[in-house]
Structure 1
Amino acid sequence: MKKYLNNERGLTLVEILAVIIIGSIIMLLISNVHLFGQKQYKSQSEKSRHLYDVTYAAKVITKEIRKADEKGIANIGSKSDHIKLTSVIEYKYNSANKSIENKDGTIFVKDIENFYVSKSSSEVVLRIISITGEEINTKITLRKGD
């Protein structure tokens, strides 16, 4: 045992190269796992944000439709990309910048692929699709008041 402890030869070049190569492979694997995790986080965060935006837009527009009288809702065509509820409240789809805008042109929700509104005699159908494919479909039944 003393023979090995008193050996002052040190490490050979081959041993050092082997350690460097093994260490490099381990670091490469760790960095790939880390980058994959970051990419997944970014992708899921973006999808979550788009789902929130689409849900928010549907909730606000649905609330405005429920508040409007039926005469205001009559401004919707059979299938359209805009809805005008009153002289103040209007939402329209801008395909150039993929957004839903208010009447004055301010962006209400961005990153929207499609926005459809259609009206039959007793219901309004609202469909909003984000650029990542998150989709909200809702039917609002119109109740005639006395």
Structure 2
Amino acid sequence: MRKHLNNGKGITLVELLAAIVLASIVMLIVYSVLMSGTKQYKSQLEKNNQLTDISYALKMITKDIRKTEDPQIINNSKIELNGINYSLDGNTINRNGVVIASSIKRFHVTSENNKWIIEIESSNGVGVEKTEKTEVYLRKGDE
């Protein structure tokens, strides 16, 4: 009987089960590393998209403010710039009714002397919040 076990013509059930268990452990480790990388990528992409939206909105607003001779703050979340209106509508910032930024939690505009402070806070719904703030100094051509 000992001759029959040592002839090396096959594998035993125990060897097969050990190989399957080891392969399963390796596959679980590889899978968890891949899933972690994918989750991190999606998180970073969402943060980047939020910052891009906020930056784009701030650049548009700033550009239009500088072109306008008499900008007006209607209320803390609505401004009028020579026929161009920016407002917070739900969770979007609109420019004359066209959405320029989404997932916005707060759009706040205040005025101090010849300076406007514009603050935009965005939230993606899963706890990731980004806030950007800019100050625009109003220029008077006659002064």
Does residue 129 in structure 1 map to residue 125 in structure 2? no
- Structure 1 residue runs of 5 or longer lacking an equivalent are none
Q: For residues 95 and 140 of structure 2, what CA distance do their matches in structure 1 show? A: 27
Does residue 85 in structure 1 map to residue 68 in structure 2? no
Alignment size in residue pairs: 134
Q: For residues 57 and 99 of structure 2, what CA distance do their matches in structure 1 show? A: 11
Q: Which residue of 1 aligns with 2:54?
A: 54
Q: For residues 106 and 8 of structure 1, what CA distance do their matches in structure 2 show? A: 75
Q: Which residue of 2 aligns with 1:108?
A: 100
Normalization by structure 2: what TM-score?
Answer: 0.87
Q: Which residue of 2 aligns with 1:39?
A: 39
Q: Which residue of 2 aligns with 1:118?
A: 110
Q: Deviations over 1:81-103 (max 9, x none)?
A: 1111112x0110012xx110122
TM-align CA RMSD: 1.6
Q: Deviations over 1:97-136 (max 9, x none)?
A: x110122x22121111111111122111100112132221
CA shift, 1:42, in A, is 0.6
Q: Deviations over 1:63-83 (max 9, x none)?
A: 1111111x3x2x315x60111
User: Moved runs in structure 1, 4+ residues, more than 3 A?
Assistant: none
Task: Tell whether the 8 Å contact from 2:53 to 2:100 is kept in structure 1 after alignment.
Answer: no
Identity of aligned residues (%): 40
Higher strand share: 2
Task: Tell whether the 8 Å contact from 2:116 to 2:135 is kept in structure 1 after alignment.
Answer: yes
CA shift, 1:9, in A, is 4.8
Normalization by structure 1: what TM-score?
Answer: 0.85
